[in-house]
Amino acid sequence: MLIHSINIVHKMSCLYKLCGVVVLSLMLLVSGGQVKAQDAAPAAAAPAGGGDAEKGKTLFTNNCAQCHAVSGEKVVGPGLKGIESRAPSRDWLHKWIRNSSAVIATGDAYANQVFNANGKVQMSSFPSLTDADIDGILAYIDQANKPAAPTTGGGDDKVVDNGGGGSASTGGPSELFTFVLIALLLVMLLVLGVLLVIVTILSKAVTPATDGTQVTSSFGQRLKTGLSDAFNNPTLRSIVIWLFLLVAVKETIDGAYGIGIQQGYAPKQPIAYSHKLHAGQYKIDCNYCHTGAQKGKNATIPAANICMNCHGVIKKESPEIQKIYTAIEENRPIEWIRVHNLPDLAYFNHAQHVNVGNVACQTCHGEIEKMEVVEARSSLTMGWCIDCHRRTEVNTKDNAYYDKLVALHRKESKEPLKVANIGGLECSKCHY
């Protein structure tokens, strides 16, 4: 009798201790994580070489990467490491990049030397690039060739690219994460309460009578009586009902938020096309295949003729390439499976983002140049897009279109002009 009572008390004590340990752990995790999130905020890198290196990276990827490497390695054209030290001047580079043919035609000695040394392959002209654009590309090349700065401090916090031109700390939880922890704590407390009631019921069922009378009922009867009493207990009934409602509401909300989200979706395509090989190893510009990205609403699916620009000569015997030949011969389209899909109620224009906003493909699609099989990396939800509009600064430099907007914005705020400030949060921008 005494030993049995001690066992019951010990079990209850263990449950209370478990509750205390979990509560303390959650409190330390939330408070400690928030401190880390504050301490791990990265400092913004200053533009190098007098140009915007971040913008230059995008311009380099879209215009130069298919023929040049930022290192000294030769691709189609020479490697660009130390290009400013080799060229006569920066003004000369501005003219050369805009129209190399015109510079060669003037009889410029260095221009003809470069032309002859690279097999007289004609470099593409880029008349639309401004001096600021070219300075940004040069700044990016200079930045890419600088040795990585040594990390300081002994903390384990990391800073990761969030895919939108900024950075985010992995050290502390978000507000949503904190809310989830608190919700889990409440659920855990309810579960512990139920466990305590069960322990009490079982203890009554197995404890012999203490008033000297003989116990005549069986264990099963006593257990049934205890469960019946527990079910009729209004406090326990309320705990069970609230626990059920919390779980049901959570599952319903999770299901509603997940409708239409295909994050992580990576279907097998009818032809095994490797972006890692084409966009990664061979540096083929995304816009070469997806010709509509800079011109219209849709990026477009590449036509088989675009594939034949190379594969009319290269790897013709490959079984996967033969599938393209078969599609052309049978005059039927290749049935690619769509990976990134927005609902019909949402309007998105590729040209507005890629050509005007200079948004890199990787911002929305992830590191596509590293994917063997294309995967939907971003959620592409309304909240995800709005968050990007709130943090993305508008590039107003040397663009008179924004002069009045910038002047009006500076009267109201000292913060940089963001996409959200020029209508990026208006419902009619995306829903029509």
Q: What is the pLDDT along the chain (432 residues), one digit of tens a residue?
A: 444 444 554 555 555 555 555 555 555 554 544 444 444 434 334 444 567 888 888 888 878 876 788 888 877 678 888 888 888 998 888 898 988 888 888 888 888 888 888 877 778 778 888 888 888 888 888 888 887 655 544 444 444 444 444 444 344 445 666 777 787 778 777 777 777 777 777 666 555 555 555 555 666 776 677 777 777 778 877 888 888 898 899 888 888 877 888 889 999 999 999 999 999 999 999 999 999 999 999 999 998 999 999 998 888 899 999 999 999 999 999 999 999 988 889 999 999 999 888 899 999 999 999 999 999 999 999 999 999 999 999 988 888 888 999 999 999 888 999 999 999 999 998 997
What CA–CA distance (Å, rounded) separates 270 from 175?
A: 42
Residue found by looking up tokens 């950075």 in the block: 167
CB atoms near residue 262 (< 10 Å)? 17
The CA distance from 17 to 421, in Å, is 52
* pLDDT for residue 170: 40
Residue 186, pLDDT score: 80
**Could you tell me where the beta strands, DSSP code E, fall in 155-241?**
159-161, 167-169
- Distance of CA 104 to CAs 86, 92, 95, 116, 409, Å? 17, 12, 11, 10, 46
Give the global pTM.
0.47
The whole-number pLDDT of residue 154 equals 44
Per-residue pLDDT at 159: 40
Q: Is the dihedral of CA 424, 427, 430, 432 positive or negative?
A: negative
Position 325 scores a pLDDT of 94
- Specify the pLDDT at position 205: 59
In CATH, the number for domain 51-145 is: 1.10.760.10
Q: So what's the pLDDT on residue 13?
A: 54
Write out the H or E segment, with its range, that includes residue 320. Answer: helix 319-329
For 419, which DSSP code?
G
Q: What is the rounded CA–CA span in Å between residue 141 and residue 80?
A: 7
pLDDT, position 174: 56
Q: What are the residue boundaries of the structural domains of the chain, listed by start?
A: 51-145, 260-301+337-379, 302-335, 381-431
Long-range CB contacts (< 8 A, 24+ apart) of 92-95?
93/134, 93/138, 94/131, 94/134
107 by Cβ neighbours in 10 Å (0-12 / 13-18 / 19+) ranks as exposed
The per-residue pLDDT for 216 is: 56
